[in-house]
Amino acid sequence: MAKPTSKNEDQPVIRHIFSKERMRTHNGPTGEDIDRRAYELYLARGRADGYALEDWLQAERELSAR
């Protein structure tokens, strides 16, 4: 199979659209911020398992509202 050619072969691969850098440029909370807040919610609940998604969504709502 022939290798595709382009005049920009030496260009770096475009970063994933959900990279940390992209998230920060949109003034919203980063994944790290949401993760940190979700962990705080987990601790506040007494480390009860089974609520990871709910914690993540609540953290995302709280941080996005700021």
What residue spans define the domains of the chain?
30-65
Considering only residues 21 and 28, tell me which one the structure prediction assigns the higher pLDDT: 28
Considering only residues 24 and 66, tell me which one the structure prediction assigns the higher pLDDT: 66
Of residues 14, 13, 54, 60, the one with CA closest to residue 35: 60
The pLDDT of residue 40: 97
The pLDDT of residue 66: 82
Whole-number Cα distances in Å, 42 to 21, 33, 51, 54: 27, 14, 8, 10
User: Is the CB of residue 29 less than 8 Å from the CB of residue 63?
Assistant: yes
Rounded Cα gap, residues 41 and 58, in angstroms: 9
pLDDT per position as a tens digit, 25-59:
567 899 999 999 999 999 999 999 999 999 999 99
pLDDT per position as a tens digit, 9-20:
555 544 444 455
pLDDT at residue 23 greater than cutoff 90 = no
Rounded Cα gap, residues 47 and 31, in angstroms: 21
